[in-house]
Amino acid sequence: MLICDVCNTLADVNGVLARLLGVRPDAYPAPVPEGFFESPEGLRCFRSARPLPGAAALVRRLSSRLGGLAYGNPTRTPPVSTGG
C-alpha cells in the first residue's frame, strides 16, 4: 500500500498559501493562524491547490504496484529541532 500526503506532494498547497497569506514556500512549518486548515478558508486552500505535474500519474502507477492508496495528512506539525 502507498500512503501519500497531499500537501506539496500531490498538490501545490504552498502556492496557495503564498497567494492567500503571503507565506514563503521555504517557511516550515508554515506560519498560519491556529486552526487555519480546519477552517472554511483552509479547506478552500486544499481544494484550490493545483496538482503538481506528473504527481497523479506517479501515484496511480505506484498504488497499482503496491496494492492500493491511502492519503495521510498530519493535523499537527511535530516540533522542528533548532539544533540546540
Phi-psi sector, 36: left (phi>0), alpha (psi -120 to 50), beta: alpha
Kindly report, residue by residue over 23-68, the tens digit of the pLDDT: 988 888 888 888 888 899 988 888 899 999 998 898 888 888 888 8
Q: What is the pLDDT of residue 40?
A: 92
Verdict on whether the full-model pTM lies above 0.75:
no
Residue (of 69, 49, 74) closest to 58 by Cα position: 69
Q: pLDDT category, 76, cuts 50, 70, 90? A: low
Residue ranges of domains in the chain: 2-72
- Produce one character per residue of 32-66: b if its CB has 16 or more CB atoms within 10 Å, e if not: beeebbeeeebeebeeebeeeeebeeebeeebeee
Kindly report, residue by residue over 13-35, the tens digit of the pLDDT: 999 999 999 998 888 888 888 88
